[in-house]
Amino acid sequence: MLQRRKGRVLSINMIVMDIWWHIHSLMSLRDAAHAACVSRAFLRSWRCYPNLTLDYDTLASETCASEMRNSDKIDCILKNHSGCLKALTLNLNCISISHRHLDSWLCLAVKPGTEDLTLLLPKRKYNFPCSLLSDGVRNSIRYLEIGFWGELECLLSNALSLEQLAFTNCMEITHLKIPCQLACLDITAWQRLQVIENKAPNVSSFCLYGKISKVLLGDTLHMKNVTLGRSNAVCYARAELPFIVPNL
């Protein structure tokens, strides 16, 4: 009888904890961190917080105010996390880091179950460690946003479930081939890119900022939203898009 009661109490406690953790996951990152400082339950929940956005503004806030360098703060947060991240944003444009640090953070944070990954880096090339994209990871990633990148072909070929892709300032790439599983594509400010070749039949949204010499959109039957930011955009849209994207 005592064992049954203990089992029921344990089950109730687990249900209560699940409710608390769900509430905690709905808070903003800053509020969730504040709550973790005053509650043991929320402290445990903080280590499982599903969506982390780590940038200069967040790390310089009162929540994280300390003598630690920003790179050390990121290191501490990710090392103390349980590794169950659903979404991770690392905006490192104003943070001094080494590639060794970034490799380590990605190994800690990108696991099977991670769906959204945003990496905004300083203006230098970075080779993504494609070994991180194990079977579990490449089957879970749905949204990817990257800036200043290398090894792009390796990345795209291993992200099998990718549905949304956004690029910013990828300086080295001249010819971009889009895989066949994407639904949304966003490309901004590419200096050397000359050709975009789309092989994805289900792209419904296409956003392009910058003048590209050649855009091969392929099958556009599902495309309904197009955003262009370029010189002569209106003339280009009127002259070309009715034939290229009939369902726009």
Q: Which residues of 19-41 are buried (b: 16+ CB within 10 A; e: fewer)?
A: ebbeebeebebeebbbbbeeeee
Task: Specify the range with the lowest mean pLDDT, choosing from 71-85, 99-113, 180-194.
Answer: 180-194
pLDDT digits (tens, 9 = 90+) for 38-73: 877 778 788 888 889 998 888 876 444 455 788 888
| End-to-end alpha carbon distance in the chain | 67
In the predicted structure, residue 82 carries a pLDDT above the cut 50: yes
The residue among 192, 157, 161 whose CA lies nearest residue 178 is 157
Cα 71 to Cα 76: distance, rounded to the nearest angstrom: 9
At 98-125, the pLDDT tens digits run 888 899 999 999 988 999 999 888 766 7
Q: Which residues of 69-102 are buried (b: 16+ CB within 10 A; e: fewer)?
A: ebbebbbebbeebebebeebbbbbeebebeeebb
Distance CA 90, CA 107 (A): 13
**Can you tell me the mean pLDDT for 26-32?**
82
Q: Are 86 and 114 in contact (CB under 8 A)?
A: yes
What CA–CA distances, in Å, run from 133 to 7, 77, 129, 130? 40, 22, 8, 6
* pLDDT for position 9: 47
Quote the CA–CA distance of 115 and 145 in Å, as a whole number: 12
Q: Tell me the C-alpha distance between 230 and 211, whole Å.
A: 6
Radius of gyration of the chain (CA): 22
The two tokens of residue 64 are 């994280």
The two three-digit tokens of residue 171, written as one number: 């300086």
More confident residue, 20 or 107: 107
